[in-house]
Amino acid sequence: MRLWHHLREVWRYRELIGNLVLRDLKVRYKNSLFGIAWSWLNPLLMMIVYTVFFTVLWGNDRIERYPVFVLSGLLPWGFFTEAIVQATGSIVGNAHLVKRVYFPREILPITVTLSSLVNFLIALPVFFVLALLQGARLTWWVLLLPVPVLVQVTFILGLAFILATVNVFYRDTQHILGVLTQALFFLTPVFYSANDVPQQVLFHGLMLYPRRWLYWVNPMASIISSYRDLLYFGAPTAWDFLMRTAVTACAIFIIGYLVFLHYSPRFGEEV
C-alpha cells in the first residue's frame, strides 16, 4: 500500500516531470552545433566503428548486414547506459532543489530515464532508414517493439533508484559505475551474436553453461536479444524468456523503489 501511495503521488506531479524532461532535452542540445542530430550521429558513428573493425579489419563476414545487426543492439544499449549514468547523479546534481523544495525525490531519476527514452525514440528512425537501405526484412512484428521498451524502462528505473540512493552516501559510485558498464557491455550481445557464446564449456573438470548464464545473470542480454528479434530478424521474440526478464525487471523496480523511499528522507542532510 505504501508503494502504491507514493506512485499515486508521483502521478500527481506528472506535469512537473514533463517540464523537467523538456528542460533536460533543451539543456542537452543547447549551444550544440548539430543539436538534436547528435541523437542520430552518435549511434551511427559507433556503428561505423564496429562495422569497420569487425568486417574489414577482423574479416568477420558471418553476420549478414552487420551495420543493421550492430545498430539494433547499440541503440537500446545507448539508452541503458545514458539513463543509468545520468540517473546515478540525479539527486546529488540537484542538491539545491532537494534541500529547498518539496517534491517526491523519485521524480529526479524518473525524469532522467524518460529524457533518455525520448532521446532513444528520436534515434530509432535512423535504424529503419539504414535497414531499408541495407535491404533488411522489416515485418509486422516490429509493432510489438513497445513491449521490450517497457521492460527496459522498468529495469532501468529499478537500477536508477538504487544507484541514485547509493551515490548520495558514496560519491565514488559514479566512477565505479563507468568501469562496471564497460565490463557489462562486453557481457551483452551488442556487437556479437549470442549464438557465438558456447552453450557449454568444460573448465577444470566442471561443466559450465556460458550462454545460459549470460541471460540469467544479465537481464540486458535478453532485452537486447528481444529488440534484435523484432528489428533485425523480423521474427517474434522468445516471449517466455522475455516474460521472465519482465518479472526480473519488475522485481528490481520494486526493490529499488523501496530502497529509495527508505533512504530519501536523509537526502537533504547528505547532499
Per-residue pLDDT for 206 more than 80? no
**Cβ proximity of 232 and 195 under 8 Å:** no
Q: Where are the domains of the chain?
A: 2-270
Task: Over range 3-26, report the average pLDDT.
Answer: 87
Gap between the Cα atoms of 79 and 133, Å rounded: 24
What percent of the chain shows pLDDT beyond 70?
96
Kindly report the average pLDDT of the chain as a whole number: 88
Per-residue pLDDT for 61 more than 80? no
For 179-201, write each residue's pLDDT tens digit: 999 999 998 999 988 888 878 77
For 215-233, write each residue's pLDDT tens digit: 778 899 999 999 999 999 9
Q: What's the pLDDT at 67?
A: 92
Q: What's the pLDDT at 269?
A: 85
Query: pLDDT higher for 171 or 40?
Result: 171
Q: What's the pLDDT at 95?
A: 87
